[in-house]
Structure 1
Amino acid sequence: MGRFSPRGRTQVRTVCGLLFLLVGAGLLMSCGRGSFIGRQYDDLTAYYNTFHNATQAFESGLESVNESGGDIDRTRYLSVFPPPQGGAGQSSFEEAIQKSAAVLREHPNSEWVDDALLLIGRSRYYQQNYVGAVQKFREAIALEPEREGEARFRLAQTLVVAGRYREAAEALRTGLDSGEEYGSWAARMRVVQGELLVRQENWAAAEQALAQGLNDNLPDETGARAAFLLGQVRETLDNPEGARAAYRQVSGYDPPYPLAFAAKLAAVELGGETGPPGRALERLAELERDDNTREMRAEIARVRARLHRAQGRPDRARQVLTAVLRGDQAPRGSGKGRTHYELATLYRDAYEDFTRAAAHFDTASATLSPGPDGGTGAAEAAQVLPRAPSDARAQADRFRKLADRSQAVARMDSLLRLGRMAPTEFRAVVEKIRQRRLEEQEARAQRTRRQPRFRGGRRPAAGDASPPSAGQPAVQTQGADAGFLFHRDPTLVQQGRRQFEQTWGDRPLMDDWRRAEAIRGRPDARPRAGQTEDRVRPQSSAGSSTAAGVVDVSAVPRDSISRAEMKDQRAVAQYELANALFRAAGRPDSAQTWFRRVLDETPDHPVAPQALYGLAQAHRAQGDTAAGDDVYRRLISEHPDTPIARRAREQLGLATTDEAPGRAVSRADSAYARAYEAWRSGRHDAALRAFLTVADAYRETSVAPRALLAAGVVYHRTARHDSSGQGRARFTHYADSLARADAPWFATAVESIIRRGGPSGALASV
């Protein structure tokens, strides 16, 4: 079959048209299909009767696919050849397949056979029938070499989208190493190779392939997307200058506005990281225009906030982020989630406000979807940049627990400060609190009276809502899509859940649970420590004014015994906060402060050895090995017989020879006797601490279970009449702090004592 270049095909069609005019249809029909004129006639009728219509149908479907594009997600690696969207232009692609198949069936000897094969393959590709597309592209490669370059490119492109990476790599190797001159198709194959290597996370090879492809002739859209992907790869390789150059290269390909905007924004952000942030802020202002979308405005706000943070202006960064969240055109979907995530990191890192950080992380986790907006397939959904906010849920859980511990310590600090006040000063503070509550209640009542009533009037529009007050949590923003009374707002739901758990714990979700638990004798039916029945009972609106004028001071430790008990509880809470800062939040510097507070304020508490060990680890985590070793030696010196001291010796590389069993038992018996004497003399709190210390320090001896049992008895005898529940809370805190050690019998015994409220049948044996 004769072959022609595209220009030759045009000439053939022109010649055949002239033949029609000069010779007439009768002369052409007299020529056989095997003759030259017959072949030209076959080509002409194949094109005008069938293939031309097939091409028009395909172009119509392709327009529908191209119209489905949207904003660029800078947190995900951009696909140079975006996978097709399901449903777009399907009928048009099916028509193109049918008409191209007619060419193969009715004109098998025409020059349009390879074109028809490629058109069927491309149509199946956009129908997401990748198996069928691969088959047709392979047939086109085997047919004739003229269209081989395009066929090999489209074959590799389809295999990459289908996730058949090994076959794609082989197809690209065969095509690029063949020595054939494929022109611009070779450049496109290089770009496909770069995208394949990105999916395989082979960053250096991906950079090389993309750069080689961009050195040759590429279509504008392909070149712009390839340059953007090259910028992202260079960011991953920590090459900000190279990334900026790639992003600036995007504009040379006349890209669509969303892609041009994303490239300019990325270049500005990198400029702020490597150069003066002030100059980057000036360039950022140039990007702002009246016709950008809410998603683009949110992107600009997030970059501006990062630049302000780089300047050491966290307050300005917070104002920028909260303003965009509270604006009339606030971001939605993943844009909203990323903005909340940015605000959460600001509260976490700049302010160490873990409560607000947890709330914003929680909101971000509820709005950030696992795939990109208008997702383009599971394969691309997994391709996120290292800086992408993909851990919002884990961060929310981590910092919610950290916030609870921080609030617990702050609450006990405040209560102890109130407890140490002189009576006159204490009464003055309580009166000041009462007056402030009354003023707040009156302000709320005035705001309620100013709100328009629904009955007999219209419902307020979304834009009628007044801006949040200064005292409102920053996370409570843009609730227009949160439902009536914001019942679907994820942040408010999360805050409500935390407040409920702090008040009621993990009580059963059933009616009359308190009465049922009281009948069974469970202590959970009583108010929690520091709470009275009036404090935890829900109050009606009728009595709200009276309740606002009453300040509950039952939790304030006004005597020395209560203050000592709360100091013990605070020591455990401080240790838990320090440990969470070190292990969960990765903040050894902040953890050091709290470990030292435990050691400075309560050096004799049972948790002090753990605080020393944690302090040593925090020093080492910051690279100060000498300071860490000094703390390990202090731990060994002050608590030589504890298991944690043996761990300190291991950290120092010292020999850990075990103490003779008889000597250990003798020392344990002596310590037990001193604790027993403290109990008999009426010093119950000191006895409880001493018994627990014996159980912890000598847990490998037979004295340890006996000491733990004695601690349970002390708790049982002293706490049975403790209606406030403070004794039980104290023992639980002590036991929990000791149960962290690896001793199965210890944890089991603690749980048994707490569950039973004390082994009354074993009193005589202690």
Structure 2
Amino acid sequence: MIDRFTSHIRRTLPLLGLITLLAACSQYSSRPGAITFHNVAARYNAYFMAEQDMLDAEFEMQKAYKENYNQLLPILLPMDSVRAQAVKPKLQDAIKKASIVAEKHQNSKWIDNSYILLGKSRLYLGEWADGLEALRYVYANGRDESDKNNALIVLMRAYIEHKDYSNALGVAEYLSQQPLNKSSQRDFYLTKAYLHQQNGEYLTSVAILEETFPLLKKSIETARIHFAAAQMYDRLGQYALANKHYKSVNRNKPNYDLGFYSAMNSLQNEVVLNPERNLANVGFDKMLRDRKNDDLRDRVYFTMGLLAEHKKQLPQAVEYLQKAAAASKGNMQQKAYTYLQLARIEYESLENFEMSKAYYDSALAILPQEAPEYRLVADRKRALDNFVTQYTIVSAEDSLQKLARMNPAALDNKIDGIIEAQEKKRLEEEEKARKAQLAAQNASMQQGGGNPLVNGGERRWELYDPALVNKGKIDFKRAWGNRPLEDDWRRSSRPLRSLAGNGAAGTDSTAVAQTATDNTGLKKGTPEWDQVHAVLKKNVPLSDTAFATSQKKKEDALYNLGKIYRFDLKESSRAITSFERVLSEYPKTQYKDEIYYLLFLSNEDNVTQKESWKGKLLSEYPNSTYARLVNKSTDTGGTSGNATKEYEAMYKLYADGNYTRALEDIEKNLPSYKGSSMEDKFALLRVFLIGKVRGKDAYGQAITEFMRLYPTSIYLPRLKEMQEFNSVSMGKR
């Protein structure tokens, strides 16, 4: 009996010991043994695996991130939920493992770290509300001050990504008062520098980075932060300090592209610092010869183009930039930036507006829609489309009117001169094209076949280059007009189209047409010559009625040009010139009162002229809508700051989906901003809100009311598009 009892005790004692041990290791126990057990279990199981998932995910996202060296490199890589989709399983596993610590190891010292990992993972996935909640939990309930500070650093970064700079600054102010360990101090400095960089405060950002670099180890990440610092110094105009950091890039293990762009930007700054230096012997030629830079030659030529423009060498700048476009093999983003630079030079410096428009078209065709410049380029392209149309009308009617003022004999001689000039130019271009074709064929034969116009050498088939395609279309239209798709259209016996409707062209600013014939050219005195002469002369406004029609076209086009300059291209000085030309050439213009008002707005930097145009408007048109607008803007001019704040508050309600509250606020506050520069902006937001709250009928009425009350608003084209869309959706059209 005793033996049986002893045997039972021996069998149950291990089980009782295990039960006792498990009870002692409860996650809610405060005993040292229990805490040690859960610390070890949490750290080397769930948290370890979650941390490895996060490190792997961040490494993959960093590797997939495409740097855009034409733009300012962000100090910290943005938290992009789209890019995070590729590593979503790892981030979800990190969330799952980090949650185990919270569920099963409540008394562990790793619980705060796990919540930080959990919050960061959710931020990467775009789950902002859940991510912020996890980080705020650590700050409110964390047991370790260092962990609480680390949670706040990640929280500050989240605010930056959402452009909530005021909250980010608030967190930064708090953290600046806390004792931080070396690791936390490094992360805090980088995040704060990132905050000021994203907010455009480059001087503050680089000042913080200067304090941060001693805390950083040599790595590719440190190299790109040096590059970002150098770029900000460039924007501040401190090129010597920028070069100091460009040279530091190569001391911190950069990848090849980062080292290349750093060296090239450093050379660029050396030329800026020493204007006498010749581009040919700076070092760019060595970069171009280096075979490792074959796929980066476009960027070298691009930089040379920027420097040539800086040195006021515009022909060389255009040449280098065209070489950059031709050298772009797979980097369409770089090619788009090249086209944008060419478009800007053609517009601003050379005033070749058609070519500028063509380059903008080409840039827009290949620029990614997510690029920060896309919206701006699209808006400018639309503005230039309209601008070139109006500018062409002004040029064409100017040319035609000059011809109309000549005596008959002089007019005939002038037209004959135009035909001769265009025939000479046409024959020269055809001969040039013929020689180029022969040279290409010879080169192809020497290379043993292949088409050098497609793949080989420096040459490039035009149909692969959008800018050349657009230029070809412009040249074709200028030479031949709008031709139907039919056979034998180049025969001289066919009727020829005048260029009078297409503007001045060729070597003579009064040219109104182009001619076409066979390779021998037109001969004066032949029926073909007389036919071309008659077509050209027919378009000259010789009668009083035709001349008046030409004058009206020119007046309307000049007026439209002024508005495009003022509202679309934001060029007040050119707008003033265009409006003043209308008043000078057409003293009785129907647009006189509106032009007075637009000149009042455009002279924002010239108080004397501003008051002068205001006086003219009030004295000549005291009862006009524009006179009332001038008086209102004067009476409420001091409320612009408050108006901006009110608008931002109402727009936030709109963005958050609180449409009813936003509409109530805007209708309550709109009367107090009557006449201010923000009035039509408030009214436009009101239209959007009415569409959300009161339905399509009220929406249509609101659009009509806006167009009646704000006839000169810059938002009018947008409202017209909205009106058309609303009419279609309601079945009215």
TM-score class, shorter = 0.5 to 0.7
Moved more, 260-269 or 417-426: 417-426
Q: How far did residue 182 of structure 1 move?
A: 1.9
Matched, 1:432 2:420: yes
Matched, 1:391 2:376: yes
Matched, 1:356 2:347: no
- TM-score normalised by L of structure 2: 0.58
Q: Is the CA contact 2:246–2:262 (under 8 Å) kept in the aligned structure 1?
A: yes
Q: Is the CA contact 1:231–1:243 (under 8 Å) kept in the aligned structure 2?
A: yes
- Deviation string for 1:604-627 (max 9, x for gaps)? 9979999x999x99998998989x
Distance 1:78 1:557, change over 3 A: same
Q: Is the CA contact 2:156–2:171 (under 8 Å) kept in the aligned structure 1?
A: yes
2:536 counterpart (543, 553, 567): 553
1:407 counterpart (386, 392, 395): 392
Moved more, 572-581 or 270-279: 572-581
Aligned to 1:474: none
CA distance in 2, matches of 1:330, 1:187: 38
Amino acid in structure 2 at the alignment position of 1:321: L
> 1:84-233 alignment to 2 at 5 Å?
84=80, 85-109=83-107, 112-140=110-138, 142-145=142-145, 147-178=147-178, 180-202=179-201, 205-214=204-213, 216-217=215-216, 220=219, 223-233=222-232
Q: How far did residue 148 of structure 1 move?
A: 4.2
Distance 1:99 1:394, change over 3 A: closer
CA distance in 1, matches of 2:50, 2:587: 87
CA distance in 1, matches of 2:107, 2:542: 105
Q: How far did residue 306 of structure 1 move?
A: 1.7
- Deviation string for 1:411-459 (max 9, x for gaps)? 445556666473874685476368559858977997999999xxxxx99
- Deviation string for 1:179-215 (max 9, x for gaps)? x242231232122123223444455554544444445
CA RMSD of aligned residues (A): 5.9
Aligned to 1:655: none
CA distance in 1, matches of 2:261, 2:430: 49
Distance 1:580 1:297, change over 3 A: farther
Q: Is the CA contact 1:578–1:591 (under 8 Å) kept in the aligned structure 2?
A: yes
- Deviation string for 1:709-734 (max 9, x for gaps)? xxxxxxxxxxxxxxxxxxxxxxxxxx
CA distance in 1, matches of 2:378, 2:126: 33
Q: How far did residue 78 of structure 1 move?
A: 1.5
Distance 1:437 1:271, change over 3 A: closer
CA distance in 1, matches of 2:421, 2:589: 36
Aligned to 1:82: 78
- Deviation string for 1:42-71 (max 9, x for gaps)? 655555555444444443333322221222
Aligned to 2:326: 326
Amino acid in structure 2 at the alignment position of 1:120: L
Q: How far did residue 343 of structure 1 move?
A: 0.2
- Tell which has more relative contact order, 1 or 2 (C-alpha 8 A, sep 6+): 1
Matched, 1:310 2:310: yes
Q: Is the CA contact 2:102–2:114 (under 8 Å) kept in the aligned structure 1?
A: yes
CA distance in 2, matches of 1:238, 1:78: 19
Amino acid in structure 1 at the alignment position of 2:358: A
Q: How far did residue 126 of structure 1 move?
A: 3.5
- Deviation string for 1:325-365 (max 9, x for gaps)? 22362641x32322111001111222111111122223333
Q: How far did residue 291 of structure 1 move?
A: 3.3
Distance 1:255 1:322, change over 3 A: same
> 1:596-745 alignment to 2 at 5 Å?
none
Distance 1:80 1:609, change over 3 A: closer
Distance 1:478 1:63, change over 3 A: farther
Distance 1:167 1:439, change over 3 A: closer
CA distance in 1, matches of 2:285, 2:221: 29
Distance 1:162 1:248, change over 3 A: same
Q: How far did residue 41 of structure 1 move?
A: 6.2
Moved more, 99-108 or 534-543: 534-543
Q: Is the CA contact 1:140–1:148 (under 8 Å) kept in the aligned structure 2?
A: yes
Aligned to 2:60: 64
- Deviation string for 1:714-758 (max 9, x for gaps)? xxxxxxxxxxxxxxxxxxxxxxxxxxxx99xxxxxxxxxxxxxxx
Q: Is the CA contact 1:361–1:392 (under 8 Å) kept in the aligned structure 2?
A: yes
CA distance in 1, matches of 2:159, 2:592: 60
> 1:517-536 alignment to 2 at 5 Å?
none
SS at match of 1:72: coil
Matched, 1:480 2:502: no
Q: How far did residue 404 of structure 1 move?
A: 3.6
Distance 1:539 1:126, change over 3 A: closer
CA distance in 1, matches of 2:347, 2:563: 14
Matched, 1:347 2:346: yes
Aligned to 1:544: 490
Q: Is the CA contact 2:94–2:117 (under 8 Å) kept in the aligned structure 1?
A: yes
CA distance in 1, matches of 2:351, 2:44: 72
Q: How far did residue 481 of structure 1 move?
A: 8.3
Q: Is the CA contact 1:130–1:162 (under 8 Å) kept in the aligned structure 2?
A: no
Amino acid in structure 1 at the alignment position of 2:420: K
- Deviation string for 1:123-172 (max 9, x for gaps)? 33433334444444445551324544433333333343355545433433
Amino acid in structure 2 at the alignment position of 1:155: L
CA distance in 1, matches of 2:577, 2:278: 38
Amino acid in structure 1 at the alignment position of 2:97: K
Aligned to 1:666: none
CA distance in 2, matches of 1:621, 1:112: 61
Distance 1:94 1:542, change over 3 A: same
Aligned to 2:660: none
Distance 1:570 1:214, change over 3 A: same
Matched, 1:463 2:454: yes
CA distance in 2, matches of 1:596, 1:304: 39
Amino acid in structure 1 at the alignment position of 2:71: T
Distance 1:204 1:558, change over 3 A: closer
Aligned to 1:10: none
Moved more, 572-581 or 240-249: 572-581
CA distance in 1, matches of 2:285, 2:374: 25
Q: Is the CA contact 2:299–2:324 (under 8 Å) kept in the aligned structure 1?
A: no
Distance 1:48 1:318, change over 3 A: same
- TM-score normalised by L of structure 1: 0.56
CA distance in 2, matches of 1:589, 1:200: 30
Distance 1:573 1:114, change over 3 A: closer
- Deviation string for 1:563-609 (max 9, x for gaps)? 96698569748955985797576778888998999999x79997999
Q: Is the CA contact 1:134–1:159 (under 8 Å) kept in the aligned structure 2?
A: no
Moved more, 150-159 or 30-39: 30-39
Q: Is the CA contact 2:387–2:561 (under 8 Å) kept in the aligned structure 1?
A: no
